[in-house]
Structure 1
Amino acid sequence: MNSPVAHAPQVEVVVSGCSASDAGSLFAELCRHFPSDRRAEDTPHETAGSRPTMWTGTFDTSTLPGTPERQVPPPSLSGPVKAELQGEPRAVERLRHALDETFVVHQLGVVAGDQEVDVELRLESRGGD
């Protein structure tokens, strides 16, 4: 590679297979670490009908991911949450690291493209925290 490729810090997160409350807890936790197009207090809502509901948010991982001081206990999920992360590999890894700090993370699949990666995860509450 002769010229450096600009780092694209945005990661799109798609959450499904869970309640609106669990989606809100996940997004609020990510907002503690990274700027987003969502506010931490934005509450997802359920939709009527038989179609599956998905919630999305975009997070900017260009800031160094620190561990912000926790003012409240880590969020507890009522059950497993499916999350799909899509973006530049380094950006996705930063966001995944933030998830690893709070949740039990199981990687279900990865699709790697030329300059993007799509990672499917299952997140669960940590026991005994």
Structure 2
Amino acid sequence: MNAPRPHAPQVEVVISGCSATDAGSLFAELCRRFGSDRAAEEAPHEATGGRPTMWTGTFDTSATHGGPARTTGQAPRLSGPVTAELQGEPRAVECLRRALDETFVVHQLGLVAGDQEVDVELRLESRTPA
């Protein structure tokens, strides 16, 4: 008999289609809620050469910091839509997505589900216009 696989709480987040400032705001918000391989004050940098830039971070949904949900006026503002790809175990991805739903307007663009993990593509927008 096969034993159930343990819950893997890490979610890899890939941010693209935005400025380094917006990526930094998004990562800072996630760091406020979850443990991460990034520091909340770690500012992403733009790549040179006109090539598309992507920023990554890994967030541990089992290491929640218990930050309270923000009110709309306190939420970070994005200058435009941000594309975020979340990859990990389904329960961990859902936990991180719920945190994003509390702060941003979230549109699901795509979902690829495998046996042990999911890959979800989201478009995030500020709750209030920038």
Shift of 1:73: 1.8
Q: Secondary structure at the match of 1:3?
A: coil
- Structure 1 gap segments, 5+ residues each: none
Q: Secondary structure at the match of 2:28?
A: helix
1:107 maps onto 2:125 in alignment: no
Q: Which runs of 4+ in 1 moved over 6 A?
A: none
Equivalent residue number for residue 28 of structure 2: 28
Contact 1:15 1:83 survives alignment (8 Å): yes
Question: CA–CA distance in 2 between the matches of 1:35 and 1:68?
Answer: 15
Q: Secondary structure at the match of 1:62?
A: strand
Shift of 1:67: 4.1
How many pairs were matched up?
A: 128
User: Once the two structures are superposed, what CA deviation does each residue of 1:53-95 show, in whole Å capped at 9, x if it has no partner?
Assistant: 000000000145744375x921000000000000000000000
For normalisation by structure 1, the TM-score amounts to: 0.92
Question: CA–CA distance in 2 between the matches of 1:67 and 1:96?
Answer: 15
Question: CA–CA distance in 2 between the matches of 1:40 and 1:67?
Answer: 13
Identity of aligned residues (%): 78
Equivalent residue number for residue 85 of structure 1: 86
1:40 maps onto 2:40 in alignment: yes
- Structure 2 gap segments, 5+ residues each: none
Question: CA–CA distance in 2 between the matches of 1:67 and 1:34?
Answer: 9
User: Could you tell me which amino acid in structure 1 is paired with residue 79 of structure 2?
Assistant: S
Contact 1:17 1:81 survives alignment (8 Å): yes
Contact 2:106 2:122 survives alignment (8 Å): yes
Question: CA–CA distance in 2 between the matches of 1:56 and 1:28?
Answer: 12
Shift of 1:50: 2.0
Shift of 1:4: 1.9
User: Once the two structures are superposed, what CA deviation does each residue of 1:35-59 show, in whole Å capped at 9, x if it has no partner?
Assistant: 0000100000101012100000000
Q: What RMSD over aligned residues (CA atoms) do the two structures have, in Å? A: 2.0
Question: CA–CA distance in 2 between the matches of 1:55 and 1:88?
Answer: 20
Q: Indicate how the Cα distance of structure 1 residues 74 and 105 shifts in structure 2: closer, same or farther if over 3 A, else same.
A: same
